[in-house]
Amino acid sequence: MDSLNSLLDGFGTALTPMNLLWAAIGVLLGTAIGVLPGIGPAMAVALLLPVTYGLDPTGAFIMFAGIYYGAMFGGSTTSILLNTPGESAAVVAAIEGNPMAKAGRGAQALAAAAIGHFAGGMIGTILLVALAPTVASLAIGIGAPDYFAIMVLAFIAVTSVLGASRIRGLASLLIGLTVGLVGLDQMTGQQRLTFGSLQLADGVDVVIVAVGLFAIGEALWVAAHLRRTTGEPIPVGRPWLGRGDLRRTWKPWLRGPLIGFPFGAIPAGGAEIPTFLSYVTEKRLSKHRAQFGKGAIEGVAGPESAASASAAGTLVSMLTLGLPTTAVAAVMLAAFQQYGIQPGPLLFEREPELVWGLIASLFVGMVLLLALNLPLAPVWAKLLRIPRPYLYAGILFFAAVGAYAVGGESLDLVILLIIGLIGFGMRRYGLPVLPAVIGVILGPAAEQQLRRALQISDGSVTGLVNTPFSVTVYVIVALILAWPLVYRLVVVRRRGDREEEGRTGAVSGG
């Protein structure tokens, strides 16, 4: 009942005329930018982060929620109409949505995606309301060793799940941890990696890192591979679904959140894995398996619902533990820190108006997303015709303006360019960007918790594993590290057994 009362108070905050306006602007901006080729939700939020500096925290985060969900739907629109996913989570939408569009069913694909986002977001946010306060109350008793263990889990999980190899994931994490070291030591006041510059004594702003890695790095990468001609989007009419389509989509819409929300809530869950799991699930359960790969509407509805529910799941760990599990959550955590707010167990007690206003705005944002984007789908399709040279030149300009607005220092622009070049190099060599951003944000906090735990135990390493919770987390870390090796051994052994059986059968048959 306490959660329900708090949520009703949150609706009182979210439904004020000004906050409704920020939510609508966020949905429109997020969708408009998310529709553009090569731009995912993380890049959209990072690019629009400086826009919210003049707002009060509640209004800013309500706008962020709209940007987040709007950009996710925009990425789906690009995938369906142009076969150009803005992020890995939108790949599945391209697999089935683009063949549907080529077959003249683009309107139905967009409608299935939009309603899927609505259903997944609604169910995911309901689960967020039910679980987040409980997680926060349990997290209050977590000490320094436990927090450090959770952060180690986040580091290991994010480097294991993302990227082509673990080594590349660890290399990306190391880059982020190194950037996070820049500035004054929080405990001793000693300068680290400042190269004698007083302007670097406060460290590198997380917003500059996020904008540099996502926006600048991506723009430089696309510019290096730019072609003068762009793909022509497929014309689309007004989205609608017939009775036959509704019969095939309502179950995937409901199944998607059951897969997406848990993966969003765990460290390094994100929306990539659950969308593919949802796709595989729908393919196995569908009565129209022959249509998969050729334009099956279930392959759009289920994964899009799972992606939206996963987005709600990421807010559980971010709001209650201060742990970002996706790139967008990492950028939003940076925004919290810009306002001097630290997400964690006490956030629900210290900033109840902000938290519950944000959660209530998720419901409002879902309704706005559906109401605005279904009729505006043809308009978003026209945005896809913007020539890419103009598009990415605009991104570079707005990114530079946003970075300069953070501190008003010309050095920030130099740092932005350096971080952007690092982001370009990471894309060139296949290093995932998310571990670097999480390393920058969580690195200093992990170091502080590590040193606190060691101080409490008088420097004894056993102080890091002196609680049941920390031991449990380290066991999970060990399983994550050992699983690929165990999996390979099992697969190799099974293949060896099958080959042996084949040889035995051949010999006996001969």
**For residues 53 and 211, what is the distance between their CA atoms, to the nearest angstrom?**
15
pLDDT value at 103 more than 50: yes
How far the first Cα of the chain sits from its last, in Å, is 74
Q: Which of residues 373 and 506 earns the better pLDDT score?
A: 373
Q: What is the SS3 string spanning 429-451? A: CCCCCHHHHHHHHHHHHHHHHHH
% the chain with pLDDT above 90: 0
Report whether 215 contacts 46 (CB < 8 A): yes
Q: How many CA atoms lie within 13 A of 299 on its CB side?
A: 25
pLDDT value at 506 more than 70: no
Confidence label for 381 from pLDDT (cuts 50, 70 and 90)? low
> Which residues 6+ apart lie within 8 Å of 237 measured at CB?
106, 107, 378
pLDDT value at 15 more than 60: yes
pLDDT value at 162 more than 70: no
pLDDT value at 475 more than 80: yes
Mean pLDDT of 355-384: 77
Which amino acid, one-letter code, is at 184? L
Which amino acid, one-letter code, is at 385? R
Quick one: pLDDT at residue 229? 47
**For residues 380 and 40, what is the distance between their CA atoms, to the nearest angstrom?**
15
pLDDT digit string, tens, across residues 407-441:
677 788 888 888 889 989 988 888 877 688 778 87
Most confident segment among 6-15, 225-234, 257-266: 6-15
The full length of the chain comes to 510
- Across the chain, mean pLDDT equals 77
Most confident segment among 10-14, 385-389, 430-434, 487-491: 10-14
Quick one: pLDDT at residue 489? 77
Confidence label for 268 from pLDDT (cuts 50, 70 and 90)? very low
pLDDT value at 88 more than 50: yes
pLDDT value at 1 more than 60: no
CA distances from 314 to 207, 266, 325 (A): 19, 8, 6
> Which residues 6+ apart lie within 8 Å of 313 measured at CB?
124, 127, 128, 260, 261, 262, 263, 264, 265, 269, 325
**For residues 351 and 311, what is the distance between their CA atoms, to the nearest angstrom?**
21
- What pairs with residue 191 in β-bridges? 184
Mean pLDDT of 206-229: 72
Q: What pTM, to 2 d.p., does this model score?
A: 0.66
Mean pLDDT of 309-337: 78
Q: Among 19-33, 59-73, 149-163, 362-376, whose mean pLDDT is lowest? A: 149-163
Mean pLDDT of 338-360: 81
